[in-house]
Amino acid sequence: MNKPLRRIAIFCGLLIVALLLRDNWIQYVKADSLNARTENRRIEIERYAHQRGDIIVDGKAVTGSTETQGSDFKYKRTWKDGPMWAPVTGYASQAFGATQLENLNDSILTGNDDRLFFDRTLSMFTGEKKQGGNVVTTLNADAQKAAYEGLGKKKGAVAALDPKTGAILAMASTPSYDPSTFAGNSTTTDSKNYTKLKDDKNEPLLNRALRQTYPPGSAFKVVTASAALENGLYDSVDTPTRSPLPWRLPLSTHDLPNEGNLPCKNATLVKALEVSCNTVFGKIGADLGDDKMRAEAEKFGFNSEQFTPTRSNASVFSKDMDKAQTALSSIGQFNTSATPLQMAMVASAVANDGTLMKPYMVDRLTAPNLDTVAKTDPEKQSEPLSKEHAQMVQKMMEGVVENGTGGNAKIPGVTVGGKTGTAQNGINNSGNPYAWFISYAKTAQGSPVAVAVVVEDSDASRQDISGGGLAAPIAKDVMNAVINSKK
């Protein structure tokens, strides 16, 4: 071969090598980033070319798929009782993406997850259409219905847990929304509906059970009582506390008031929780100090985000507070704030003899053929109380329901422990207060449910807003639903 031809051959060979390298770079190294590009419409078309897998509650799908009209996206998501389940499922929209379980488990639901590779490969040979897998939740349909209907037109949230496992049994938030109204990509309907929801001042898209923190008010006194026992400030819940009346806030010229003429002077912890003595629990916080109070709150989950797997905002118990600020924080005011999930965790740990189980709402993920590809095992998160102290706090909470402010949560034949809370809202307490109730139910088989309810706003007049009046009946219905479903 003469020299010019040899040079041409070498040059062409180099071009072929460069082409092969570039082709492999694009196909293997850059594939994921190219697939993720919003301009790559073929990926989106394929994504919606088959029915999405379902989210399952009590063995039944609460989601579905339907064929679209006038779009190259063949299928869009549907929901059954969308407003009731939206705080659990989130939404999956062709135009606006996905949230919560729909987002976190998107690869399973679309069928693109690597764990479904065998199913996808098998379908190539069998000729079956590609299908998404399913997300099987821990939710209890009856409890969810009781929570959602109990809230009704009120603005608020409910979270319910199984104390033994941490499984989330109910998670309701109102006002809510129907994800089906913007599941497509129509600019005239879906975009209009989504924008209306996004601009609504009542924030229906907000999951208040996980993403909204509120001052917990007197419901937080359960944590303060736990701190008193765990730190040896008091050895018994039946002996008088060292609580003068009136009690002057440290570093202040003001006394800490109680809500009325209550028998709080040197009250036992049992009596103090029954009638909700600010002076007793405020003084406990001041006596223990910020470090010990905060350490106990953090054992219950405060100051940390929770992942269920949907993220929950961190509840707050501040650091570096003086004695007066710590006293106010110890009765659920000042900077203290909590999500409904967090307060359900408090009740759950007490009910479970002091052991807090990590909250979760996905039991397992399944392939289209229903084979399990992943399962959640219950996991211990912390131990805020010893068994002995937890049972003391149970006695206190059960006294609240039997003899105190939580009477509206009584269930015949069932032992119920609870704590009410009415938390200040707004500058100088100018807004309607938040009504709280946390509780658990206990049967001969153990404690199947712990609940937290917060009512942020309602039609009730200010003087009629209380945790016992507004929130306790909702908690009672949720607990009843769980108990009845296990019979």
Phi, psi of 200 (to 5 degrees): -65, 125
Report d(CA 338, CA 210) in Å as an integer.
Answer: 9
Catalytic residue among 93, 218, 243, 329: 218
Tokens of 59: 């063995």
Which residue type does 347 have? A
C-alpha closest to that of 472 among 43, 177, 158: 158
How far apart, in whole angstroms, are the C-alpha atoms of residue 213 and residue 316? 8
Exposure string for 195-223, b = 16+ CB within 10 A, e = fewer: eebeeeeebbbbbbbbbbbbbbbbbbbbb
**CA 302 vs CA 118, 215, 230: distances in Å:** 42, 13, 17
3-state SS, the chain, equals CCHHHHHHHHHHHHHHHHHHHHHHHHHHHCHHHHHCCCCCHHHHHHHCCCCCCCEEECCEECEEEEECCCCCCCEEEEECCHHHHHHHHCCEECCCEECHHHHHCHHHHHCCCHHHHHHHHHHHHHCCCCCCCEEEECCCHHHHHHHHHHHCCCEEEEEEECCCCCEEEEEEEECCCCHHHHCCCCCCCHHHHHHHHHHCCCCCCCCHHHHCCECCHHHHHHHHHHHHHHCCCCCCCCCECCCCCCCECCCCCCECCCCCCCCCCCCEHHHHHHHCCHHHHHHHHHHHCHHHHHHHHHHCCCCCCEECCCEECCCECCCCCCHHHHHHHCCCCCCCEECHHHHHHHHHHHHCCCCEECCECEEEEECCCCCEEEECCCCEEECCCCHHHHHHHHHHHHHHHHHCCCHHHCECCEEEEEEEEEECCCHHHCCCCEEEEEEEEEECCEEEEEEEEEEEECCCCHHHCCHHHHHHHHHHHHHHHHHHHCC
How many C-alpha atoms does 71 have within 13 Å on its Cβ side? 22
| Catalytic (active site) residue 218 | yes
Catalytic residues: 218
